Amino acid sequence: MLRCKQVSEALASVNYWELPLRKRIGLRLHVFFCMVCGPFNRFIMQMQDTTRHYLSHEQSDTPSPDMCLPKEARQRIVDRIKHNPDQTASNL
């Protein structure tokens, strides 16, 4: 069984999906059950998963549906910029 320090060092040094399957399973089990480092390291793993998801779509040039604004939202932004060109993006 891995210790908290080993899990944290592994997650800090490399993206966990690049680790061998056996090591990934060990990390996931530890993070799932550990009351000490679990919440923080689950967050780190989710961030790495999200990064991997976006990178995979960026490299394939096919935007993920969850990366795109709905057409209506895009049009609202365009209309707002056209009607208020002096406003900065922070005012939108």
Q: How far is the CB of 13 from Zn ion (least distance, A)?
A: 16
For the chain, the distance separating the N- and C-terminal CA atoms, rounded to the nearest angstrom, is 51
Q: How far is the CB of 34 from Zn ion (least distance, A)?
A: 3
Span 5-44, contacts to Zn ion by CB under 5 A: 34, 36-37
- 16 exposure class (CB count in 10 Å sphere: 0-12, 13-18, 19+): buried
Size of site (CB under 5 A) for Zn ion: 4
**Residue ranges binding Zn ion (CB under 5 A):** 4, 34, 36-37
